[in-house]
Structure 1
């Protein structure tokens, strides 16, 4: 170190003092041993992630069905055929599965909202977010899936009745690329990290 280099005492310099964050319930104990509201919120986030995985599986199954229906529709001049009818019934089953997943999103959101309104909740609940901030993220995720559910219902309800091949292709595309879910993965990962389901790297 040259003579011109300033030599600071980091322990005494207030500008360079490390930031001290309050200890949260999650930081004070093993994530697996959480109790009370933090444990319940952590479990609700895990259930949300599981429901998204179920939704993704249903979506993938639906992609196969709508493209199968589209190909049948494009290769026949008939408006209704037995094959088209059977294919549409399979799509209705997918729609029912999506409805169940949709209802689960609503149930989980209501549970998360209830905990966000409890008095004397620690803040932050885990590492950085308050209960209300966790609920805000949670609600944004659920709302995105609600919007996407409306799109998928619209596709199934209208695909069978169109006579225009371009419309059929449009409906298949709408199902395949869920534009309402852009950036949802980032929000879900944020919740998983916040609640200790993902390690902080």
Structure 2
């Protein structure tokens, strides 16, 4: 990280190192790197979840088709149509797949919790600057052009997007093993894969944050 220009409001001595300014810049730059790393972990979990959710839907479809075939056979044999075949192996696979999806969503919960703490960290930097510089804020940006308050706006935007997406993941988790029609199952899988609450502007926001803080070259 390049050293930031000294602000006389922070360091009255010209020979001092501007530790307060550098400290705030370091916190925000590290914060941006944490956002990047958490979102990479989220995307990896989303890919894993897509694979597991697809397996759940396929198991449900196979089980449903098998039951229909068995019901036709038993009806032709004049057996009781109320008796349904048991598929212990398939049921076990379905239970294990659901357990893996629960674990994935739990990890996503943990990631969003860390994202919330990142927002709090940047808010703390802004509060510190209000104390140091007053309502007018810092006279020069910490990095390229953003005022410090802009980092709070960006962090909140990212957090809100992933918080909403997490709620959707929980809804899919509750429903994916229970839908009885393939069309609805495909809708759930599409929602999981394409993440409607994480739009292109969300990803652009992250890239802008990384560019502003020097993690991306100009």
CA RMSD, 1 decimal: 2.1
Say which is worse superposed, 135-144 or 163-172, in terms of deviation.
163-172
**2:59 pairs with 72, 75, 79, which one?**
72
Q: Secondary structure at the match of 1:48?
A: helix
Q: Does 1:127 align with 2:144?
A: yes
Distance in 1 separating the partners of 2:50 and 2:176: 13
Other-structure match for 2:83 = none
Match of 1:168 in 2: 185
State the distance in 2 between where 1:51 and 1:83 align: 30
**Aligned twin of 2:112:** 102
Q: Which residue of 2 aligns with 1:195?
A: 213
> TM-score, normalised on structure 2?
0.73
1:38-187 correspondence to structure 2 within 5 Å: 38-77=25-64, 81-118=91-128, 119=130, 120=133, 122=138, 123-182=140-199, 183-187=201-205
Question: Counterpart of 1:180 in 2: which secondary structure?
Answer: coil
How far apart are the structure 2 equivalents of 1:83 and 1:27? Answer: 61
Report the secondary structure of 2:63's partner residue: coil
Structure 2 residue runs of 5 or longer lacking an equivalent are 7-20, 68-86
Give the conservation status (yes or no) of the 8 Å contact 2:57–2:177.
no
Q: What SS class does the counterpart of residue 117 from structure 1 fall into?
A: helix
> What does residue 13 of structure 1 align with?
none
Asked whether 1:36 is paired with 2:23, we answer yes
Q: Which residues of structure 1 form unaligned runs of 5+?
A: 1-23, 29-33
Larger radius of gyration: 2
Question: Normalised by the size of structure 1, how large is the TM-score?
Answer: 0.79
Q: Equivalents in 2 of 1:71, 1:126: separation in Å? A: 50
